A and B are shown apart, each in its own frame.
Chain A
């Protein structure tokens, strides 16, 4: 295995993957677990993935692990609710607000929001990653935005502060 090539890719991909994972799980430790497992699987197949798109592969693994992990632990879901944001986040309260807003979404809605609005994937690409229909992506996305709009009006203030 070309460990140098893998390391170069992993160093570059680590932050984008970790950002998505933190938004999905709301927990930095769980996020690290998700990303690490995805990277391990990429490393195991590096000779085949190096010429392709390892980041897309890692993202797919991560999202599927997240959804299946949630299904496995859904009976404890009420104790999983998010977050502390990382302690060194500059504006902890505001970051926590975002996490709490995302916590109002179902795991699949959260996955759609992260893929569509953080990773900027197209509806088709999101559908492929999550193995759901294009129509489902659209409806989940619309429902998620509606829920954020209705249930997390505080985000509007945050956007105002950022823009």
Chain B
């Protein structure tokens, strides 16, 4: 007899193969993300859509912030990670990976001082990480025109801004040091 003449055999096989799959903290994480999204929507309504400003767009693109259906993907972290204690109201619990770096989503409602070290992304079909604070500093440039020009030159030297105005972000392994490659993070009118 071939394997699947009786469909119940396949049911048994699929059930058995996933017998130990479990993630008990998923409901709490989902609830927390839903709360954040509701807060972000309310805030966006109240502020008249401040996210629409060009500066915000650049920062959002740079950090890979995504308020649509993808921000959930940043919550999932390696199963070896531990949960860190975090302030209750400002962001979902971050994980601490085996290199001691916090990994989690970067929500628009979370103050920069509470951002995680790394944000997980999908990079060429694999998991990669953006260094959140480095990316933010790079996106903001400087507070004076001179600092902004110096910052732009520095980005050109590092290959993070090209002659077509494309901004690139380095993607790291979980250690936050080993560079996997670069991803397109946004565009600007500046050119190298």
Mark A residues whose CB is within 8 Å of B: 3, 6-7, 10-11, 14-15, 18-19, 22-23, 28-33, 35-37, 39-40, 42-44, 65, 73, 76-80, 85-90, 94-95, 98-99, 113-114, 116-118, 120, 145, 148-149, 153, 155-156, 158-159, 162-163
The count of residues in chain B whose C-beta lies closer than 8 Å to any C-beta of chain A is 43
**Restricting to B46-99, which residues have a CB under 8 Å from any CB of A?**
69, 72-73, 75-79
Q: What are 8 of the A-B contact pairs (CB < 8 Å)?
A: A15-B21, A18-B22, A36-B30, A37-B72, A39-B30, A43-B34, A95-B17, A98-B17
Min distance, Cβ B126 to any Cβ of chain A, angstroms: 6
Q: How far is the CA of A11 from the CA of B23 in the complex (A)?
A: 10
Instruction: State whether A86 touches B69 (Cβ < 8 A).
Output: no
Q: How far is the CA of A95 from the CA of B18 in the complex (A)?
A: 7
Min distance, Cβ B26 to any Cβ of chain A, angstroms: 5
Given contacts A36-B76, A40-B33, A149 and B4 within 8 Å (CB-CB): yes
Q: Which of B3, B22, B33 contacts A148 (CB 8 A)?
A: B3
Q: How far is the CA of A73 from the CA of B30 in the complex (A)?
A: 24
**CB neighbours of B37 from chain A (8 A):** 40, 44
Instruction: State whether A18 touches B14 (Cβ < 8 A).
Output: no
Instruction: State whether B13 touches A98 (Cβ < 8 A).
Output: yes
Residue of A whose beta carbon sits closest to that of B33:
A40
Instruction: State whether B4 touches A40 (Cβ < 8 A).
Output: no
Given contacts A18-B22, A36-B30, A23 and B124 within 8 Å (CB-CB): no
Instruction: State whether B14 touches A117 (Cβ < 8 A).
Output: yes
Residue of B whose beta carbon sits closest to that of A17:
B26
Min distance, Cβ B74 to any Cβ of chain A, angstroms: 8
Main secondary structure on A side of the interface with B: helix
Q: How far is the CA of A120 from the CA of B29 in the complex (A)?
A: 28
Instruction: State whether B125 touches A73 (Cβ < 8 A).
Output: yes
**CB neighbours of A7 from chain B (8 A):** 27-28, 31
Q: How far is the CA of A18 from the CA of B12 in the complex (A)?
A: 16
Q: How far is the CA of A119 from the CA of B72 in the complex (A)?
A: 24
Min distance, Cβ B35 to any Cβ of chain A, angstroms: 8
Instruction: State whether B34 touches A35 (Cβ < 8 A).
Output: no
Instruction: State whether A156 touches B21 (Cβ < 8 A).
Output: no
Instruction: State whether B125 touches A10 (Cβ < 8 A).
Output: no
Min distance, Cβ B27 to any Cβ of chain A, angstroms: 3
Residue of A whose beta carbon sits closest to that of B73:
A33
